[in-house]
Homo-oligomer: A and B are copies of this chain.
Amino acid sequence: MVFMETQPIADILPTEGLPTEGISTPDTPTPGLPPRGHEAKRASIIDAAGDVFCREGYAGANIDMIAAEAGVSRQTVYNHHHDKEKLFVAVVRDLTERSNAGVFATLLTFPDQPGDIEADLIAFAVRLNRNCICNREGKFLRKLIQAESERYPELFAPWRNDGPGKTWSALAARFARLAHAGYLQVDDPDVAARQFFSLINADLHMTMMLGGTPTDAEVLEAATNAVRTFLRAFGKTHGQAAQPALADA
Chain A residues within 8 Å of B, Cβ to Cβ: 55-60, 142-143, 145-147, 149-151, 153, 156, 160, 164, 185, 187-188, 190-192, 194-195, 197-199, 201-203, 205-206, 209-211, 225-226, 229-230, 232-234, 238, 240-241, 245, 247-248
- Give A84 Cβ to nearest chain B Cβ, in Å: 13
- Which residues does chain B contribute within 8 Å of A245, judged by CB atoms? 187-188, 191
- Which residues does chain B contribute within 8 Å of A153, judged by CB atoms? 210
User: Is B57 touching A146 in the complex (CB atoms < 8 A)?
Assistant: no
User: Is B247 touching A210 in the complex (CB atoms < 8 A)?
Assistant: no
Copies in the complex: 2
User: Is B58 touching A209 in the complex (CB atoms < 8 A)?
Assistant: no
- Which residues does chain B contribute within 8 Å of A58, judged by CB atoms? 57, 60
User: Is A202 touching B210 in the complex (CB atoms < 8 A)?
Assistant: no
- Give A210 Cβ to nearest chain B Cβ, in Å: 5
- Give A138 Cβ to nearest chain B Cβ, in Å: 12
User: Is B210 touching A145 in the complex (CB atoms < 8 A)?
Assistant: yes
- Which residues does chain B contribute within 8 Å of A205, judged by CB atoms? 164, 194, 197-198
User: Is B241 touching A209 in the complex (CB atoms < 8 A)?
Assistant: no
User: Of the candidates B149, B203, B206, which one forms a contact with A210 in the assembled complex, judged by CB atoms under 8 Å apart?
Assistant: B149
- Which residues does chain B contribute within 8 Å of A149, judged by CB atoms? 209-211
- Which residues does chain B contribute within 8 Å of A59, judged by CB atoms? 56-57, 59-60
User: Is B247 touching A57 in the complex (CB atoms < 8 A)?
Assistant: no
22 contacts between A and B (CB under 8 A): A56-B59, A57-B59, A143-B146, A146-B146, A149-B210, A160-B210, A164-B205, A164-B206, A185-B240, A185-B241, A187-B241, A190-B248, A191-B203, A191-B248, A192-B229, A195-B199, A195-B225, A198-B198, A198-B199, A229-B233, A230-B233, A233-B233
